[in-house]
Structure 1
Amino acid sequence: MDQSDPPFLIDDIVENFSLLEDWDDRYRYVIELGRKLAPFPEQERTEANKVQGCVSQVWLATTIHRRDGDAVLTFAGDSDAHIVRGLVAILIALLSGRPAAEIAEENPLALFERLGLGEHLTPQRSNGFRSMVARMRADAQAVLAEGGIARW
């Protein structure tokens, strides 16, 4: 399985969060999501793929392909911090494999708040999450600005 096909669906993540009442269990679940990501290729750990604005090291690689005339983006990611790697997994489950136009319009921060992450993570991790979202949306917007033509 490659990282463009995450081993979990965003609806499953939301449902599982609702079943876990204790925040220690939710933290463990986020960490487990991160562990299920496919290994991030060493050659993708470049400065260009590094997400700025994160205290932890975070890398996101974007691949673009066409499906039914749309530019579809798939994301792969990794972090050196377990919880942050889980946040990467949540974003990949939400955004990867979707058309650029949908990604540009999606509001992952609403999901972040709905899951209660905003009030239970440190401000640095919350800012890092926002930086990851900004990076993924910027990639989608760049593709749209170029008429849906992949430049990567």
Structure 2
Amino acid sequence: MTLEEKQQEIIDDFAIYDDWMEKYEYIIELGKDLPLIDSSKKTEDRLIEGCQSRVWLDASIENDRVRLTADSDAIITKGIIGLLVRVYDNESPEDIVKSNLHFISEIGLQEHLSPTRANGLASMVKKIKLLALSAIAK
């Protein structure tokens, strides 16, 4: 599935919910489905700066693809990083760097987050893109 197809799948998934309380519940469920990050990877150097909650992100390269795992100590934030992992996991570093995450605005996520959570979301995207960029540079 392409990065674009993954985004469209998320847009379609969110379209079935009528109000934002249902969408928040869905985001929480996505966080519960996030593959667990190995506890040894929950280190300070894997924390994403700019997030109000603690969010750990681990990235590796396998077969020229970026593999991501993540976790957070806040349930909504865990769901948000889960959405990003869903889109970006197993993509090429080049596709990640040049991607435009339009699903965020199309599902209305940004406008329904508090300013601190919106900043955290931007920090998560930035961190993933920087990790992909560093993989290209190697």
TM over 0.5: yes
CA deviation string 1:15-49 (max 9, x = no partner)? 12011111100000000000011222110100111
CA deviation string 1:76-124 (max 9, x = no partner)? 001011111000110011111000000001122x221111011111011
- Distance in structure 1 (CA, Å) of the matches to 2:116 and 2:100: 20
Q: What is the Cα-based RMSD across aligned positions, in Å?
A: 1.1
Q: Which runs of 4+ in 1 moved over 6 A?
A: none
* Percentage of matched positions with identical amino acids: 32
Is 1:39 aligned to residue 36 of structure 2? yes
Q: Which runs of 5+ in 1 are unaligned?
A: 1-8, 147-152
2:57 aligned residue (47, 55, 60): 60
The equivalent residue for 2:133 is: 141
The equivalent residue for 1:4 is: none
TM-score when normalising by structure 2 = 0.92
1:84 aligned residue (59, 70, 77): 77
How do residues 123-134 of structure 1 correspond to structure 2 at under 5 angstroms? 123-134=115-126
The equivalent residue for 1:3 is: none
Instruction: Report the alpha carbon displacement of residue 10 of structure 1 after superposing the two structures with TM.
Output: 4.4
Work out the number of aligned pairs and report it. Answer: 133
1:98 aligned residue (91, 101, 109): 91
